[in-house]
Amino acid sequence: MTAAKPTVLILCTGNSCRSHLAEGILRAAAGDILDVVSAGSKPAGYVHPLAIQAMQEIGIDISAHRSKPLSEFLQAKIETVITVCGHADEACPIFPGQVNRHHWPFDDPARATGTDEEKLAVFRRVRNEIRRVFTAYADGRRDALKTLSGKPRA
């Protein structure tokens, strides 16, 4: 019998952009060793179309994601909570309970202004920043598993 994968919850305020970018990237990088979910303290009710487009460009499909309230996960066994809100004026959610916590702030691409192409450029920049941080996190989690098991994992 295999143990359940630890759950990583990625939190933001609206759960429409950054948390979905991070969820998709972390799931692609470490979905074999982590269960990855996202939620918001004040969910927007949709996943931003430019977030979906920016992710499709790197081969990750988040079109089936949905904007979820934090309350859906209050009874879940969460091992790690990562908040991705960037601006100081945002009310980044706090998750109750004793869990690992990280706060990695990113700009909110939903606040981008200008033409569609200029907005998409902001989504791409934030996606790439999130990709660097969450890929490194996935690599660290994988390395920790190798150390614990004493042997390399595929």
Given 92, 99, 110, 145, the catalytic residue: 92
β-pairing, 7-12 vs 80-83, is parallel
Say how many residues make up the chain: 154
Task: Please identify which of the residues 54, 62, 84, 85 carries the catalytic annotation.
Answer: 85
Which residues make Cβ contacts (< 8 Å) with residue 19, sequence separation at least 6? 10, 11, 12, 38, 39, 40, 84
Alpha helices for 3-93 (secondary structure H): 18-30, 49-56
Clarify whether 17 is annotated catalytic.
Answer: no
Q: How far is CA 121 from the centre of its chain?
A: 19
Closest CA to 143 of 37, 35, 31, 30: 30
Point out the catalytic residue in the list 8, 11, 12, 36.
Answer: 12
Residues carrying an active site annotation: 12, 85, 92
